Homo-oligomer: A and B are copies of this chain.
């Protein structure tokens, strides 16, 4: 899975690849799938050794003196007590070094397997994996209406994620299917990811039994032994910042870690509300929370994959509303990535975040600012990489399509500068010489196909041509592409026996409990 010699062309093999190539020839379909990113460029760092050591010392003080709450979970507290922590009611105080010692069993790099081995991803090291938006209860639909999301929307986003070339991972709660009972949604969502896509995906974390259902479905899809020995699902375990883990998240974390599946321990922070208003203070709290939560997964099962997660934005000091794409969260991302690397854990942050209600310039400025820092920070797993709108309250079809174009650019950027003889292009400079042009020279012709990133959203034509074509804005072009792709979607092949077993599991589970809507 981590074989960096697998090229984009090979990755598009199989039934899906043929469909995509057919569509691409017909014009307008998605370009070939891209394998997960292996960054050839270096990371950007905002903190020096001194600053990093300072924040680490401060986080140790937080862990020891203030402590972290593990609420309403007697088992978790008992586990911490047995591990040597000082437990006072639900507050756990950590002797200096305890969490770091526990984390020595956590892998710095691991593979999350997809049912199509060509779509398996490396998480950690020089890999970057893009996954779609997670969690919005609303959609901005294809007709421009904002409304509650449905399971049909969910399936549409699962299809688009599957088709999107620079989306390497199908994600999790692409939107909340509020037309499905709360206690049954996870079954439909996991089923959709498993059947509509062959990329890796995320599991349910909203209750321990839903996490257990996810693991059961993974065993149907991948086989029981394979699941026990390999990571096949990754799961978002949010801290309830500041400095609290609650029973829901702890319950899901226990299920997944004990099943040897990956967790992303993520302080969910809007600075000024859930953390101090400063970058260094936020980094200190983030590090303390991740140390405690990630170490807990190693108490559940040493060696279970765990990711250093950070979701940090700010609030407007006037209104308290969340803000995105501003400088402070970028600085937090850069700094947290450095702390994660020093800790030896894979890192998750960022995405294409914005506060705008529509896919306008605000949405794009904010998303691009976030994505640029996400990439250069050296982020390994990027949730919310496409489709995020309105502070995460809405999944937008149009923005999904615009964002994945930006992800393709980030992927090209990550290749860095080609310094081969062809990259140096001295033959071209010699052939063309002063006062001529490179349009037809041999080197340009030889590199015609791959020379530059090709956007399917950007209109680079003349003003007059753009007028003739209807004076469309970027999101109108994106809307057309979303409709077109959904129209040409073909499901990836799936073994009939597995498909039937998954259907049966979902049907049996659903019939075994009454609908619950809260």
Binding site for B on A (CB under 8 A): 41-42, 44-47, 50-51, 54-55, 58, 61-62, 65-69, 71, 91, 146, 240, 242-244, 271-281, 283-285, 314-323, 325-328, 330-331, 335, 355-369, 372-373, 376, 390-391, 393-394, 399, 402, 406, 409-410, 412-413, 416-419, 422-426, 428-430, 432-439, 443-444, 447-449, 451-455, 457-463, 466, 471, 473-475
Q: Give the chain B neighbours of A458 by CB distance below 8 A.
A: 323, 325, 355-356, 362, 366
Q: Give the chain B neighbours of A432 by CB distance below 8 A.
A: 242
Q: Is the CB of A362 within 8 A of B474?
A: yes
Q: Give the chain B neighbours of A419 by CB distance below 8 A.
A: 50-51, 54, 280
Q: Is the CB of B67 within 8 A of A434?
A: yes
Seed contacts A66-B430, A278-B423, A327-B412; 13 additional CB < 8 Å A-B pairs? A42-B46, A44-B44, A275-B438, A278-B451, A314-B452, A319-B460, A327-B413, A360-B473, A360-B475, A366-B458, A369-B406, A372-B373, A394-B463
Given contacts A244-B434, A423-B281, A434-B91, contact A328 B453 (CB under 8 A): yes
Q: How far is the CA of A63 from the CA of B190 in the complex (A)?
A: 61
A8 to chain B, nearest CB (A): 15
Contact of A422 among B278, B429, B437, B459 (CB under 8 A): B278
Q: Is the CB of A425 within 8 A of B281?
A: yes
A139 to chain B, nearest CB (A): 13
Q: Is the CB of B451 within 8 A of A277?
A: yes
Copies in the complex: 2
**Closest B residue to A408 using CB positions:** B327
Q: How far is the CA of A328 from the CA of B462 in the complex (A)?
A: 21
Given contacts A44-B44, A46-B417, A429-B281, contact A435 B243 (CB under 8 A): yes
Given contacts A91-B434, A243-B435, A326-B409, contact A362 B276 (CB under 8 A): no
A-B contact pairs, 28 of them (CB 8 A): A46-B416, A58-B424, A58-B426, A66-B430, A67-B434, A69-B434, A242-B435, A244-B434, A271-B452, A275-B438, A280-B417, A281-B423, A283-B417, A284-B425, A317-B448, A323-B455, A325-B458, A326-B409, A326-B412, A327-B409, A335-B417, A355-B458, A356-B459, A356-B474, A357-B466, A360-B475, A372-B373, A394-B463
